[in-house]
Amino acid sequence: MSKNGNITTFPFKSPLPKHYNPALNTPYFTHITKKILTDFYPKKCPSPECNSRILDKEISTRPDLIRCPQCRYLTSRLSHTPLHHFKLPIWMFGYVLYESLIQYPKVVTATELSKKLRIGYNAASLLKRRFQLFASDQLPKYKQLTYNALENKFKDFLLPPNENRDITKIMAKKPYTCVDTAVLYSAGERASQGRKRYRHSGATSSIYLSEKLGGRQVGTLVQTIAIKQGPVFFTSVSNQKADTLGPIIKDHLPTCTPLFTDQGYPWLWGIYKNHRSVNHSARSKDNRYRFARNRWSKNGVHNQVAEGNQRVLKTAFASYGYIKPEYSQLYLNEFSFIKNANVFGLDIIVEEGERFCLSKDAFSSNEKTPGNGAVAIRRKGLLPQHIVQKFP
Ligand SMILES: [Zn+2]
């Protein structure tokens, strides 16, 4: 506007705040971000008189600050949370959570965020990384919840000792748990520049480049632990050895769980007494056919739940194009967090977090000691979470 008040001058200077977007309900997304911060990372008053009172007095002009209603102590809402030193408007974090939840099983990519929020690609990928950090921080609560529920359900449960008995009816109304592994972004012949991987075969070798090209890990091997119509957990692993997969399974599932896999897990016998496996390459008794008709499911034993989840995962991750194996765990955590949030909801992990006091790490600490809060968050969030190895 000119001095006269009616002629617009160029270049036009917008009176609207930066990142203003008329298409998005920003107050709503601000509310989501605030709710996440208050529920998952509540701040307490350090003053001894206030008796660790939760800070909940808002400042209308500064959504990033919070104050003690009693002594008016003022602090940042964002410090020592996954939003430490967050420079974008805080509603954007709420937007990512909202979009990720409603778009599941599709994933929200950094490119998409950059276009919809009108921010640069780098800003968008850092925003996504913060969301992954939040997901990785909260996921252990879903794991604990699942573990406790399974333990409760199958405390003294035993499958019939005769392996040829059909267990469809026994398992019908119980949580059906499957474990399987899958490969994302396999190092095909083209990635190895036409060299055959003659030395090794199988899923593990397909994530490594040919030895002549250095044998670096380029693909991602995923261990899936899935429960029918329930939660799913993905872990990025370097190989399929018992020493690698065993501890992960034991960490997620109590040993009384009825566990269904393919033939790749013979070592589970003896640890999981309710373990059953289905032979995917069972031969047909009839000469006309190579494989048996029941090689995917026999006597009610199958691992369709894990394979179904892997199909969803593969389809979703196709829109990323490619992700480095170093960062695969962050992406997998994000994906399983969203799935589990759709199964359990978010409120339950707020309660669980309080009951089990799970968040003992950097995020929930309200102290300003270096190496504990912000530094730990950076380290956890920005460094690779999966250790890449050469082919064993
Ligand atoms: Zn106070």
* pLDDT value for 321: 85
Of 304, 327, 138, residue with least CA distance to 236: 327
pLDDT tens by residue, 118-160: 999 999 999 999 999 999 988 998 999 899 999 988 888 888 7
CA 159 to chain centre: 31
Q: What is the spatial distance between Cα 193 and Cα 208, in angstroms, rounded to a whole number? A: 13
How far does residue 367's CA lie from ligand 1's centre (Å)? 15
For 87-111, what is the mean pLDDT? 93
How far does residue 83's CA lie from ligand 1's centre (Å)? 23
Of 96, 135, 97, residue with least CA distance to 112: 96
Give residue limits of the domains in the chain: 137-382
How far does residue 69's CA lie from ligand 1's centre (Å)? 7
How far does residue 51's CA lie from ligand 1's centre (Å)? 8
How far does residue 75's CA lie from ligand 1's centre (Å)? 11
What single-letter amino acid sits at 215? G
Confidence of residue 353 (pLDDT cuts 50, 70, 90): low
pLDDT tens by residue, 1-54: 445 556 667 777 778 878 888 888 989 999 999 999 988 888 889 988 888 888
How far does residue 52's CA lie from ligand 1's centre (Å)? 8
3-state secondary structure of 109: coil
* pLDDT value for 284: 64
Q: What pairs with residue 208 in β-bridges?
A: 217
How far does residue 359's CA lie from ligand 1's centre (Å)? 23
According to DSSP, residue 217 is labeled B
* pLDDT value for 2: 46
3-state secondary structure of 223: strand
- The CA-based angle 301-305-310, given to 5 degrees, is 130
3-state secondary structure of 205: helix
How far does residue 368's CA lie from ligand 1's centre (Å)? 17
How far does residue 163's CA lie from ligand 1's centre (Å)? 64
Confidence of residue 200 (pLDDT cuts 50, 70, 90): low
Contact 176, 226 (CB under 8 A): no
pLDDT tens by residue, 260-294: 888 888 888 888 888 888 877 666 666 776 666 66
Residue 113 pLDDT > 90: yes
* pLDDT value for 163: 73
How far does residue 55's CA lie from ligand 1's centre (Å)? 8
How far does residue 56's CA lie from ligand 1's centre (Å)? 10
